Amino acid sequence: MQIGLRQFVACTKLINNHYSDIIVSAFDKNGRRLLNNLKITLVTGYLASILLIILLGLYFSRETFAPIAKIINASEKISGSGLHMRVPTPKGKGELVKLANTINASLARIETAFNMQKQFVSHASHELRTPVTALAGELELALMKERTATEYQTVIASTLEDSRRLSQLIDQLLLFAQTSGTEELHSKTRFRLDELVLDLITKPGLNPENREIKFELESSDPDEEMLMVEGNEQLLSVAIGNILDNAIKYSHEDHPVRVSLKPFDTQINVTIVDQGSGIPSSEMNLIFEPFYRSDTVSSKPGFGIGLSLARRIIELHYGELNILSEPGKGTTVIISIPLVNPSGL
């Protein structure tokens, strides 16, 4: 037993036929010194380990959050005039890498949309200024002096034609702006694509030159479901109508425009073929740019919006627009639209 700092040991022993109680007491200086050293060592180690853990925690937390701090600092510097900037991508394959890549991908999409908007506004203002200037010039010229009734009728007819072109351009611009600012369609309905195409072919005013249009449904006995699509019928009519208008406009005289529909298991294809001058290979990547017009067709009426608008509308219907063309051999446009109930599924 131990009392205070001393240790005691008691025992009973037989000495000379008598039992005697023996108590021995001692103070273990060396053991006490070792225990004190052990206590100091443990306390010192405990405090040192806590301090080391705190320092390591601060270091690793700083190293861990340093990429996030860099991403935050880089993001704060990005503005409308600096959309070309990107956040730094950390090394490795962790979640921070995915975060940085996601932010950079979003910035790339925003930059593309922002540049397209600036380009759209610039081109739209230029295209709108031309007919407005022409209208003002014709009216000012007519008011410079007295004219005959025939001359006034000529001026009115000319301004009426310019106003119609201006109205058509505004409609195209509004449609392009609406479809460029959305990722999904509204007001969806189910309708037969062959009926839509036939309505376009027989639409008054679509074919002012009375160009021959040959229509073919490439199926002997098509099921109605194999011709049924879902989407915005008005927008899809605008898209196919723009392509059909181009085919009629650019096809050579005495050469028919061929329109065919062919249903497949999961989609239906609309193929429009013209016998025009074709598209040079150097311009194939430019024809979908808004307001782009080739020098070879500059004499034809148009604004350069039709193809870009058509492709955007078809993409909103989860379809594809492919163009095959060769100079001197005409152009083939293939529109693929998914069916409502694909038979192959």
The amino acid present at 186, given as its one-letter code, is H
Of 158, 180, 202, the residue at which a domain comes to its end is 180
What pLDDT does residue 344 have?
Answer: 46
> Which residues of the chain fall short of a pLDDT of 50?
344-345
Q: Are residues 203 and 284 located together in one domain of the fold?
A: yes
What pLDDT does residue 254 have?
Answer: 75
What pLDDT does residue 126 have?
Answer: 62
CATH of the domain at 213: 3.30.565.10
The CB density around residue 294, as the number of other CB atoms within 10 Å, is: 16
Measure the CA–CA gap between 247 and 145, rounded to whole angstroms: 43
Q: How far is CA 294 from CA 117, 221, 246, 286, 289, in A?
A: 22, 41, 13, 9, 11
What pLDDT does residue 53 have?
Answer: 92
The CB density around residue 38, as the number of other CB atoms within 10 Å, is: 10
What pLDDT does residue 345 have?
Answer: 43
What pLDDT does residue 61 have?
Answer: 80
b (16+ CB within 10 A) / e for 82-97: ebeebbebbeeeeebe
Of 180, 213, 243, the residue at which a domain comes to its end is 180
User: Residue 57 belongs to what domain range?
Assistant: 2-76
Model pTM? Answer: 0.58
Q: Are residues 126 and 32 located together in one domain of the fold?
A: no
For residue 81, being part of any structural domain is answered with no
Residue 73, burial from CB neighbour count under 10 angstroms (0-12, 13-18, 19+) = exposed
Q: Are residues 217 and 323 located together in one domain of the fold?
A: yes
Q: Are residues 159 and 246 located together in one domain of the fold?
A: no
